């Protein structure tokens, strides 16, 4: 079924959608195109096709941004955050979805409120406090910060998955003599595992891309994340835009591939967490 039948409207609609498509893809195309060009050619014309393919842009970018180390840091940070968010978040989401405690409403509203608090409201004491405890440049400490920031979002999303599980399942398990913990870990968790996977993807993406916290708390050369080392490379160490775009592509490519492969999960997860309560 269609909303309208007129052929012109139809053509116009596609034309407009195509223009928006071009606008969206244009900067990404520039990124890819120029990652292959020598700096001198970029200065002449950022739109031109590469005269020579400078694959060594990637080699230099990899070395200069120390991606060997920094990508590993980013991956470690993302993995830690995923584990923390999913484990603590699913516990909380279950309790809140099933209203297992009387104060579930207060806890929910408190968590919602923290999602809207500006980072600057807690950044400065946190920074000085962590410094005092020697936690600057500590990947685990940063994953704790991410966990605090991303948990409410993850909990709200997971909550909807728990809500979708029929209550009877839980009751049946209890009657069969399962403990509360067994009900949660053996019955509920396996059912909501698709939701947990979605949350893991989104949280992984957020921690991989995060900038403000990472740049503030991880500054030792061997602790930088990939995004921060890209930022330093592009701002301070080189003005060879071929190399900078190559570094950008190295960080973005795995994300884009993953996104295209698992688009449904990404889109539903990111959109879902903020739309549904």
Partner 1 sequence: MHRLYLVPTLLINVVIIFIPAVLTIALAFYRWDGIGMPVFIGLANFRQLLTDRVFWMALGNNVIWTAIFLTVPIAMGLLAATMMLVARRGSAFFQVVYFLPMVIATAITARVWQGMIYSPLTGIAGLVTRAGFPVPNPLTQPSTALYGIAVVDLWHWWGFLCVIFFAALRQVPQEQIEAARIEGASFWQMLRYVLLPGIRPTITLMMIMTIIWSFLVFDFVYILTQGGPAFSSEVLSTLAYRSAFYDLAVGKAAAVAVVISLFGLATTAVYIRLQAKEFDQ
Partner 2 sequence: MDRRTFLAGSLGASLVPLMSRLAFAAGKPVSWWYESAAPAQQEAIAKVLVGGFNAGHPDYSLAVDYRGSELDKQMRVALLSGNGPDVVYTAGPSYVAPMARAGQLLALDDYADKLGWNTRVLPVFLEMGKYDGKLFAVPKTYETLGLFYNKAVLEKNGWKAPTTIAELEALADEALKAKLVPFASGNAGWRGNNEHYVTIAFNSIAGPENVYKALKGEIPWTAEPFVAAINKLNDWWQKGYFGPDYFSLETEQFFAQMAAGRSPMLPSGTWHFQYIQSYFKENADQCGFVGFPSADGLGGPVYALGVGSTLSIAAASQNPDGAAAAIDYVFSPEFYGAMNSVWQGEWNTPLVDLSMVKISDAVPALYAETMKTLADSVAKNQYGYTSWTFLPPATDTQLINGIEEVWLGRSTIPDYLAQIDATFQQEKADGKVPAVPAR
Binding positions for partner 1, 126-165, rule CB under 8 A: 126, 128-129, 144-145, 147-149, 151-152, 155
Does position 128 interact with partner 2 (CB under 8 A)? The reply is yes
Number of residues that bind partner 1 (CB under 8 A): 96
Min. distance of Cβ 98 from partner 1 in angstroms? Answer: 8
CA distances from 253 to 32, 50, 261 (A): 10, 20, 12
Looking at the Cβ atoms of 62 and 231, the one nearer to partner 1 is 231
Min. distance of Cβ 266 from partner 2 in angstroms? Answer: 32
Looking at the Cβ atoms of 54 and 98, the one nearer to partner 2 is 54
d(CA 249, CA 60): 13
Does position 23 interact with partner 1 (CB under 8 A)? The reply is yes
Which one of the spans 147-155, 158-166, 174-182, 211-219 is the region binding partner 2 (CB under 8 A)? 211-219
Residues 80-119 vs partner 2: string with x where CB under 8 A?
----------------------------------------
Residues that bind partner 2 (CB under 8 A): 63-64, 127-128, 131-134, 136, 215-216, 219-221, 224, 232, 235-240
């Amino acid at each position: 079924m269609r909303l309208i039948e007129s052929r012109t409207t139809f053509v116009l609609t596609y034309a407009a959608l195509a223009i928006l498509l071009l606008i969206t893809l244009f900067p990404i195309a520039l990124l890819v195109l120029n990652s292959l060009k020598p700096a001198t050619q970029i200065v002449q014309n950022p739109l031109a096709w590469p005269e020579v393919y400078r694959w060594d842009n990637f080699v230099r970018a990899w070395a200069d941004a120390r991606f060997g180390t920094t990508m590993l840091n980013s991956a470690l940070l993302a993995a830690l955050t995923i584990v923390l968010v999913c484990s603590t978040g699913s516990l909380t989401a279950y309790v809140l979805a099933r209203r297992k405690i009387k104060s579930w409403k207060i806890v929910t509203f408190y968590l919602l409120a923290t999602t809207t608090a500006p980072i600057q409201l807690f950044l400065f004491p946190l920074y000085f406090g962590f410094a005092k405890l020697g936690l600057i440049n500590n990947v685990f400490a940063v994953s704790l910060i991410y966990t605090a920031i991303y948990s409410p979002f993850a909990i709200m999303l997971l909550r909807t998955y728990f809500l979708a599980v029929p209550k009877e399942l839980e009751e049946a398990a209890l009657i069969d003599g399962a403990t509360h913990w067994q009900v949660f870990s053996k019955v509920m968790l396996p059912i909501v595992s698709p939701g947990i996977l979605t949350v893991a993807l989104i949280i992984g993406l957020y921690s991989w891309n995060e900038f403000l916290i990472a740049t503030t708390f991880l500054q030792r050369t061997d602790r930088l994340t990939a995004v921060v080392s890209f930022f330093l490379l592009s701002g301070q160490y080189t003005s060879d835009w071929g190399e900078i775009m190559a570094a950008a592509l190295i960080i973005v490519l795995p994300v884009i591939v993953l996104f295209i492969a698992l688009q449904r999960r990404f889109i539903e997860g990111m959109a879902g967490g903020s739309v549904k309560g």
